[in-house]
Amino acid sequence: MLSINNLETSYGLIKALKGVSLDAAEGEVTCILGPNGAGKTTLMFTLSGIIKPDAGSIDFFGTSLTGLAAPKVLREGLALVPENRLVFPLMSVRENLLAGAYTRNRSDKDEVEADIEKMFARFPVLKERQEQNAGTLSGGEQQMLALARALMSRPKMLLLDEPSVGLAPVIVNEVFAIIKQLKEDGLSIVLVEQNVVKALEVADHFYLLDQGRVTFAGTPGEMENDDVIKRAYLGGG
Ligand SMILES: Nc1ncnc2c1ncn2[C@@H]1O[C@H](COP(=O)(O)OP(=O)(O)OP(=O)(O)O)[C@@H](O)[C@H]1O
Ligand SMILES: [Mg+2]
């Protein structure tokens, strides 16, 4: 499991994470909610080694990831699907998938090829488009590719940063169907999401991040009964 303790991250003088502590259990979907600018992406970047924290610790299945560079974090089994997909636009779909396997052993070539076929089975649209440049895919197709690319590293845990943002409702449902399947397959997931109604379908645990701090932690039931969250996210209260 992933255990984060008192994590602090800043951009120059701006402190984006002001002592964040949270746990994400194995086999579960842990959802992080929070308004724009709360620090959600900063948390994802810090966990995946893209930015280094000023203080605090990150433990992952008994190994410390604190301060490790991104490729090492990925090798430990923690893979990020970044906000706004961020596929490599001038590389083909197949090349993007191969890039996702960059930390794997070169001698695994046959296994990597077999995994690409598995991705094509899970995401049929990527098979049809395998030679097409990723930048020419639709937003939904790019999201599928970003997910598949992260899976190519064979992660233990996936960090998903707002996978549904900017997508049509039908495509959002497809993305969530994939998240459900991955969970059923036993993958652990940290999901940053503003679509609370959809998140409630998959999440086992919720955290609310606000201005760099965790302001709520609880089960879906506890979250649905929290007045502040009800008002801000569920349109009730
Ligand atoms: N590269 C940067 N340089 C300076 N400040 C930054 C940088 N990136 C983010 N910030 C600031 O850090 C804070 C947290 O930003 P972050 O992107 O983590 O928020 P977020 O919760 O992911 O928001 P959103 O929902 O809009 O994606 C914000 O105040 C933001 O302005
Ligand atoms: Mg963000």
Judge whether 94 lies within some domain. no
Judge whether 111 lies within some domain. no
Owning domain of residue 42: 2-89+157-233
Judge whether 208 lies within some domain. yes
Show the tokens assigned to 42: 């900063």
The neighbour count for residue 42, using CB atoms within 10 Å, is 24
CATH value at residue 223: 3.40.50.300
Q: How confident is the model at residue 237, as a pLDDT?
A: 44
Q: How confident is the model at residue 85, as a pLDDT?
A: 84
- Evaluate: CB of 42 within 6 angstroms of ligand 1: yes
The owner of tokens 């991040």 is 209
Judge whether 128 lies within some domain. no
Judge whether 202 lies within some domain. yes
Q: How confident is the model at residue 236, as a pLDDT?
A: 52
Q: How far, in Å, from the CA of 141 to the mean position of ligand 2?
A: 20
Q: How far is CA 212 from CA 4, 109, 174, in A?
A: 14, 42, 31
3-state secondary structure of 53: coil
Ligand 1 atom at minimum distance from 212 CA = 14
Ligand 1 atom at minimum distance from 45 CA = 18
Q: What is the dihedral of CA 122, 128, 134, 135, to 10 degrees?
A: -120
Judge whether 147 lies within some domain. no
* pTM confidence score: 0.95
Q: How far, in Å, from the CA of 145 to the mean position of ligand 2?
A: 19
For residue 151, how many C-alpha atoms fall within 13 Å in the half-sphere facing its CB? Answer: 25
Judge whether 161 lies within some domain. yes
186 dihedral zone (left: phi>0; alpha: psi -120 to 50; beta): left
Q: For the chain, what is the domain count?
A: 1
Judge whether 150 lies within some domain. no
Q: How far is CA 168 from CA 34, 101, 123, 151, 157, in A?
A: 21, 29, 18, 23, 26
| Rounded Cα distance, 51 and 107, in Å | 31
- Evaluate: CB of 46 within 6 angstroms of ligand 1: no
Q: How far, in Å, from the CA of 105 to the mean position of ligand 2?
A: 32
Q: What is the pLDDT along the chain (237 residues), one digit of tens a residue?
A: 999 999 999 999 999 999 999 999 999 999 999 999 999 999 999 999 999 999 999 999 999 999 999 999 999 999 999 998 899 999 999 999 999 999 887 778 899 999 999 999 999 999 999 999 999 999 999 999 999 999 999 999 999 999 999 999 999 999 999 999 999 999 999 999 999 999 999 999 999 999 999 999 999 999 888 887 777 777 654
